[in-house]
Amino acid sequence: MEMRQFGRTDLEVSRLTFGCGAVGGLMVKGDASDQDRAVAWARDNGINFFDTAASYGNGVSETNLGRALAGNTDGIVVSSKVGIAAHEMDDISGAVVRSLDASLSRLKLDHVDIFQLHNTLGQGDKVAPDRGVLDFDMVLNEVVPALEKARDAGKTRYLGFTAKGDVDDLHALVASGVFDSAQIFYNLLVPSAGEAIPSAYPCDDFRDLLSAAERKGVGSIGVRVLAGGALSGSEDRHPLGSQKVAPIGSNTDYATDVRRGLVFRSLVEDGTAETLPELAIRYAISHPTLSTTEIGIATIEQLQGAAAAAEKGRLSSEALSRIRDIQRGFAAES
């Protein structure tokens, strides 16, 4: 597995990150033996970055990852997140401390490598509506000091955030220099974090946030690279995964995302990739500034398929040009 320097940090991370969230579902609803086997397989095959959050199964994901790692984090990078709830807005600092301490207890670790803010900036969160609304000033003046205290106490090494919400705020947070890491939404249906898009394109315009992150030395984690499963090419959901998935960034709905995803099958039919998920993963890793690509899984076979896709490497310039032609067609629909 290819290793990449993670921004300005001293971390080297695998090209793929093992996502422990509820959309894939393995680390939330799977059998313990399957979880342990998947984590062990990932480690044995060069995947060294594991990303979880307190909100994934209300702590279940962290508990299961902690059991699977069994305190052995040699060569491993672990990140977790805090989502500040609406009822905690009067005590943001306390919310950060309580969440991190609880996460460390569940993970059975004395620190995480990266601790990330998980709120949507400047607006409500359609995925987690109970979360409070934070703007740039609140993050900088209330959240960041609490995160910095946690770092000074040795409970985390680096600070990060999930790049959801007001795009001006997201770029301002990257430019502020206080964050070392950003989770950035990037996939075949939502390409705007990686390149300019037409004005009518049906997705949020993240205005080349990946390049902005690289300029500031912020490590980037590509998330929702399969568009929450829509780029599997089917509306059917694995029993372990979230049964209802709110698209992030695409400004549509899951069924529309699936329909648009199927348009890319022409590149599978001509042999550019063996499957639509392989195409989606290789599209993400083809972006030159993306540090690592996070995948959510329901089974070890999905993990192995993602690793095999990454091993095939980046798509050709011809394939990427054909993908852009398809994407321009989505703008013409609007």
Burial letters 205-229, b for 16+ CB under 10 A, else e: bbebbbebbbebebbbbbbbbbbbb
Instruction: Return per-residue pLDDT of the chain as tens, 334 residues.
Output: 999 999 999 999 999 999 999 999 999 999 999 999 999 999 999 999 999 999 999 999 999 999 999 999 999 999 999 999 999 999 999 999 999 999 999 999 999 999 999 999 987 777 777 888 999 999 999 999 999 999 999 999 999 999 999 999 999 999 999 999 999 999 999 999 999 999 899 999 999 999 999 999 999 999 999 999 999 988 888 888 888 888 888 888 999 999 999 999 999 999 999 999 999 999 999 999 999 999 999 999 999 999 999 999 999 999 999 999 999 999 988 6
**The pLDDT of residue 235:** 87
pLDDT of 184 reads 98
Give DSSP secondary structure letters for 249-311.
Answer: SSSS-HHHHHHHHHTTHHHHHTTS-SSHHHHHHHHHHTSTT--EEEEE-SSHHHHHHHHHHHH
CATH topology classification for 3-333? TIM Barrel (3.20.20)
Q: Read off the tokens for 271.
A: 């042999």
> What is the tally of helices (H) and strands (E) in the chain?
13, 10
Asked whether 111 and 104 are in contact (CB, 8 A), the reply is yes
Using alpha carbons, select from 319, 200, 248 the residue that is nearest to residue 21: 248
What is the reported pLDDT for 247? 81
Domains in the chain: boundaries: 3-333
